Chain A
Amino acid sequence: MSLNRQDIEKIAQLARLALSESEVSAYVESLTRILAMVGELERADTSHIEPMAHPLPGQRQRLRTDEITATDQHALYQQNAPQVQAGLYLVPRVIE
């Protein structure tokens, strides 16, 4: 399965990654190689096999009691934020 520039640009857009011209070319090549390697999966006969999403069999989701265990720590957490005002995280204007 060979990829072209358009494919890479589309994927990069979906993944929100800015790529330079040369990066696009490089990724066309490397992703094509990776997908070629991955293509070997077709050799396996998986006709009656269920996909395995979790490595340990028979596990089920645990449930948590509905109680408030967190306190307001926004001042601490926002020390890491690039831009904050009035307790809000700021981003360029989003038009809805």
Chain B
Amino acid sequence: MEWETVIGLEIHAQLATRSKIFSGAATAYGAPPNAQADLIDLAYPGVLPVLNAEAVRMAVKFGLAINARVMRRSIFARKNYFYPDLPKGYQISQYELPIVCGGAVDIVLDDGDIKRIGVTRAHLEEDAGKSLHEGLAGLTGVDLNRAGTPLIEIVSEPDMRSAREAVAYLKKVHTLVRYLGICDGNMQEGSFRCDANVSVRPRGTEKLGTRAELKNLNSFRFVEKAINFEVARQIDLLEGGGRVVQETRLYDADRGETRSMRSKEEANDYRYFPDPDLLPLEIDQVYIDAVAASLPELPDQKAQRFMSEYGLSAYDAGVLTAGAELADYYEVVVHDLGGHPKLAANTVMGDLAGLLNRDGVEISDSRVSAHGIAGLLRRVVDNTISGKIAKDVLEAMWDERAEADVVIEARGLRQITDEGAIERAIDAVMAANPSQLADYRAGKEKLFGFFVGQVMKSTGGKANPARLNELLKKKLGG
């Protein structure tokens, strides 16, 4: 039996507003418990919600960026249930009339093909607080700092057919919200969360299988692992004659498996109704046009531009535009350098990325600036140093926070391009290795590399490789 996997993702992205969606309390992460929960967030008697203008703007930005319909009129609704982290006993969300409808996100598959993932809707809602269980003598402690933080809930169509596609979509949306500046995308801190709806069906059939909702997926890796585990679990179950139960399952990262979750609400009747304390949100074309005009260049557009303007491959353009900061960094390098986009790309994606990873640093905190990289690459372009040496220079620039020229001088790393000097080095090596010389001249062509290595060693790696090759060929040729 061949099975097809069907996946839909629900993403909750915290909007990066200064204050909460319905109150004037701060949203910054990491404050002491309940320091950022005001009377409205605490659901005190008599308080009322007032809508944050920036949360609306951010939602509209998102809708425009995914080519969705921004609804001229949307309604806030109450989702009623009891839980300690939900102080009002209801969450203010949007139900029948969300602010964004439709839209799509393009992902690049492993084989390079582009797949369009549909978005059903995106709506505004408020986040709940947090429950803590440690060190409270068997009780649970509720921190409402997070309660009222604005969220945008993005619901995809069930268009993904594999865990990898799901991760690609998730990463794309992650990139998009950061490009738009509407969410910092920090999965560890919980500002970008994802639930996956997973089901399987016999290949070729139309009817959707019963789905399980997976929660607690707080990294891209976990999303992939959890989905894969769940798909295997469902297939095993069905092939063994069992039925998949519609339920919520938590991903246990330690065990690498999904587990059925004890339900919050046995009977989830949320009794949605329009919130009488909030009026219909009306958005006109003038407003939408103003937001559209303020949109930054989006990842897809930027990648296209990198391909046409810099002649980069789709892959390279994709990597460099995965984050707006990285893309901007790259462009500063190229403009400062006055060209050589491929060289710049290789250095940024290669050696620089290596150092960023090694020290666990984001591009915005890079210890070498874009201008620094440009300065380094200028010395490669003008032959002062070879590309190979450049890697060492970069590492020294990073560790010592120094400019390229300073490092090159201090370590005497100038490339030897003077023909005479290289010839002398070659002569010396040839004289020191008569038997290899004889073997080479007898036909062992492979020994060319040996001579290259020896000359490089004797010059401390500084011989210009192209010049060296040229001269060595001449001299070895006899």
Contact = CB atoms under 8 A, between A and B. Distances in A.
Chains A and B touch each other in the complex, with CB atoms below 8 Å apart: yes
Interface of A: 10, 13-14, 16, 53-54, 59-70, 72-74, 77-78, 83, 85-96
Contact of B25 (A14, A54, A70): A70
Contacts of A61: 51, 76, 278-282
Given A60-B281, A63-B51, 8 more contacts: A13-B267, A61-B282, A63-B56, A66-B19, A68-B18, A70-B26, A89-B141, A94-B131
A90 B281 contact: no
B52 interface: yes
Given A53-B276, A62-B50, A72-B36, A67 B140 contact: no
A65 B25 CA distance: 12
21 contacts: A54-B279, A61-B76, A62-B279, A66-B19, A66-B52, A67-B24, A70-B26, A72-B35, A74-B33, A77-B39, A83-B139, A86-B33, A87-B32, A88-B132, A89-B144, A91-B139, A91-B140, A92-B139, A94-B84, A94-B133, A96-B261
Contacts, number: 124
B333 interface: no
Nearest to A77: B42
A86 B274 contact: no
Contacts of A10: 267
Contacts of B143: 87-88
**Closest 7 pairs between A and B when the two form their complex, measured CB to CB:** A88-B141, A69-B24, A66-B54, A63-B53, A87-B33, A70-B38, A72-B35
Contacts of B34: 74, 77-78, 87-89
Contact of A88 (B56, B136, B280): B136
A67 B51 contact: no
A83 B35 CA distance: 17
B274 A53 contact: yes
A53 B38 CA distance: 28
Interface of B: 17-19, 23-26, 31-39, 42, 44, 50-56, 75-76, 82-84, 131-133, 136, 138-144, 250, 261-262, 267, 269, 271, 274, 276, 278-282
A64 B50 CA distance: 6
Contacts of A59: 279-280
Q: Output the residue of A13, A62, A67, A74 with the most chain B CB within 10 A.
A: A74
A66 B261 CA distance: 37
A84 to B, nearest CB: 9
A73 to B, nearest CB: 7
Contacts of A95: 262
Contacts of A87: 32-35, 143
Contact of B138 (A16, A74, A93): A93
Contacts of A67: 18-19, 24
B142 A69 contact: no
B269 A14 contact: yes
